[in-house]
Amino acid sequence: MPWPMVHFAISDCIYKGSPTRQLLIGSIAPDSIHARGSHVTREQKGFTHLVHQGIMPTKEMIWDKFLSYWPLYEEPEWKDFVLGYFSHIYTDLRWTETLYTDFEQAYTGGPSEMRGIYNEEVSQVEFDLIRSTRGMECWTELLRQTDGYTIDPFVTQQEVSQYRNEKVEWLRDTRNEPHITPIYFTTDRVERFIQQTAQEIQELLKEWLPVSDKR
């Protein structure tokens, strides 16, 4: 799945260069289950991403669930958080259907090295995006201004806040950059994915949100 900078960049595109703090923190909230520690199971992580018995949700399932949470509170902050949360899940789905599938088909190495290659390349993508988007400082400042929300039964506000801290710290540590040139997840491919996925989400919002709720 894509890592935080991809989700932040998509959030930025959805709101046309002016993402809110709740949209940004919501966009990494499904992964905040990792704040529970190394004992988190694949099934538990899948639950926060609407994965059932190893099967990813459909586009319709994601947005049906989004629409069930959207009206729970009238505050715009809540609505932005919910949009970020379910945009993350949609982004993961599209990443799996496009870039990750291409990676699986093009990869010629041994299966035991595949996960390591993937992690190394997407780590590099994070730092390449920090440089190319030039939004990290602004996004970091916005992220520091909020702890997000609890979204039952998936993750708690405390988990969201803790995970935010961990990811920001990781991104700010230049020692985490592997300094490689990605073969499968190139800058051009990832940036096209970001633009396309953000556009798809914008179109879905136009299609499914009540007129009064559209930004």
Tell me the per-residue pLDDT of 76-87, one tens digit each, with 9 for 90 and over: 999 999 999 999
What pLDDT sits at residue 37? 84
The H or E element that residue 113 is part of is helix 111-133
Residue 61 confidence (pLDDT) above 90: yes
Closest CA to 9 of 158, 179, 151, 187: 187
Enumerate the H helices of 49-108 as residue ranges. Answer: 59-69, 76-95, 101-106
Residue-wise pLDDT for 101-149, tens only, equals: 999 999 999 889 999 999 999 999 999 999 999 888 999 999 999 999 9
Domain ranges of the chain: 4-208
The residue behind tokens 């988990």 is 159
52 to 41, 65, 92, 117, 156: CA distances (angstroms): 13, 14, 15, 27, 21
Answer for the pair 149, 157: CB distance below 8 angstroms, yes or no: yes
Q: Compute the mean pLDDT over every residue in the chain, rounded to the nearest whole number.
A: 95
